[in-house]
Amino acid sequence: MRLVRQGIVLDQIVKAHAAGFERILLCTPYQSLADAAVRLNCPVEAVNPAHEPFHFGRLLLEVVTTEQLESVLYMGGAAAPLLSVHELRYLRDILAQNERVVVANNYYSADMVGFNPGAALAEITLPEIDNVLALALVHEAGLRYVPLQRSLGLSFDVDTPSDVLILAVHPDVGPHTKAAVDSLKLDYSRYDAIKALVNDPQGELVLFGRIGGQLFEYLDAQTRCRIRLFSEERGMKALGRDRRGEVVSLVGKLVEALGFFGFFDFLGEICGGAVLDTRVLFEHFHWNLSQADRFASDVGALGLITHPGLREFTAAAFSAKVPVLLGGHSLVTGGMWALVDASTRERPLQP
């Protein structure tokens, strides 16, 4: 994950330079990434965040204040790898031409936020993570939110290994990211199978997780297969339902009733493939999982999973009769969008 994210960062630096950003600041504790960025044919200022433990809001405020930044576009290290130079230039222009505004790739769970002025950070409760930054700037600092037209570039990011695998099968992956992904020698067969399924008029796909209406509208228009969509627990993290143990899932109840292997056998009877936001299920089960366990489950690495229940769940998913993709929120939102986009662009032109 770190290797791919570093490739994404390098590609974003090149695109930001082409989009006309006056200053590009890279905040990273990894000297190898800082060195690689400096070797790019564009100016980069590297900042090593010395604070422990890491606190996103305090670091951002420190950088903005120290560097006297007036108009800021913040991007997380794995954010928007399919974002185009044109889209970055559009974001730059909004911030340059307006005062006291906020833009974000996802208002309720952002990892890319533009805002003007930079001093507005001093008016908010500094968030520990970036997800709620846009919300805080609007509700606490009184900045005006400017909605952006939804696009694949703004919607897809890399949070889990599942997202890496999707990125690997998309034609717009950047050169530094592609080099990183290619070096991993991953198995893309399940992702290729789902990519083919969405193009099959006789196919049927199950989607489960935190899925919004806009994505379903896109899938309904762009896919050829039938879709069974089960949307639950949108805003689970932003609303703090996971932290308070309030997550309840109808599909989770079905999994408990049928058992892990019974559930995936049932999926094999009703569809030709499934894409699951497993984080909703894990919270429903009240499993306290490490990131390492979640990532190992995403790629079916049973030997690396320490949680017995998760190991059985993952074994059942990867032994299912149909291809099953496991991942987080990004898999069933931007990830599905990216898979469908890649599939559509590979589709032969009809006479």
Q: What is the mean pLDDT of the chain?
A: 93
The torsion angles phi and psi of 51, rounded to 5 degrees, stand at -75, 140
pTM summary value: 0.83
Q: What is the pLDDT of residue 347?
A: 64
Q: Amino acid letter at 347? A: R
Q: pLDDT tens across 230-276, in order?
A: 999 998 987 889 999 999 999 999 999 999 999 999 999 999 999 99
Q: What is the pLDDT of residue 351?
A: 46
Q: pLDDT tens across 28-58, in order?
A: 999 999 999 999 988 999 988 876 788 999 9
What is each CA distance from 179 to 10, 11, 114, 175, 323, in whole angstroms?
Answer: 11, 11, 29, 6, 26
Domain boundaries, the chain: 2-154, 160-346
CB 49 within 8 A of CB 215: no
Give residues with Cβ within 8 angstroms of 160, minimum separation 6.
1, 294, 295, 298, 327, 328, 330, 331
Q: What is the pLDDT of residue 187?
A: 86
pLDDT band of 348, cuts 50, 70, 90:
low
Place of tokens 């936020």: 113
Place of tokens 């993570």: 129
Segment 205-220 shows an average pLDDT of 90
Query: Among 2-6, 181-185, 228-232, whose mean pLDDT is lowest?
Result: 181-185
Q: What is the pLDDT of residue 108?
A: 82
Q: Is the pLDDT of residue 305 over 70?
A: yes
Where residue 349 falls (left for φ over 0; alpha for ψ -120 to 50; beta otherwise) is beta
Q: Is the pLDDT of residue 226 over 80?
A: yes
2-154 has which fold? Spore Coat Polysaccharide Biosynthesis Protein SpsA; Chain A (3.90.550)
Which of 134, 186, 195, 133 lies closest to 164 in space, CA to CA? 186
CB atoms within 10 A of CB 179: 15
Segment 180-200 shows an average pLDDT of 90
Cα–Cα distance, 207 to 231 (Å, whole number): 8
